[in-house]
Amino acid sequence: MSDYLGRLRLTGAEYALLLVLNGKQNRGGLIEMTQGQLAARARLGRTDASRILKKFRSWGLVIKVGNGAYRINPRVAFYGTSEEQEAVLSELDEDLPALNLPKIPGDG
């Protein structure tokens, strides 16, 4: 997945926000930060962070859990043991969005 995401040609802002999301996961994969906090941490404007989160959510890459709470799709990145990951995947079950990442030109 890292190789695929690397070839998506994310903008610097998108990549910065993705790194913040990945780095701020609590054990179990939950990210407890508001859009404003995420924006500040990634050194982005709140509007830019909101737009990027919306894009990531449309791809199934990020899940909004509630106000000030997000999760990277646990199929993509997860902080915890494989047993904890399986438990979260089972818990989310039908609420887990399908990954709908853009196609990379030239890939078969």
Query: Are 83 and 91 within 8 A, CB to CB?
Result: no
pLDDT in tens, 3-60: 787 788 889 999 999 999 999 999 999 999 999 999 999 999 999 999 999 999 999 9
Q: The tokens of 76 are what?
A: 């993509």
pTM for this one?
0.87
DSSP, collapsed to helix, strand or coil, labels residue 26 as coil
Tokens of 39: 């924006």
Question: Residue 28 phi/psi, 5° resolution?
Answer: 100, -5
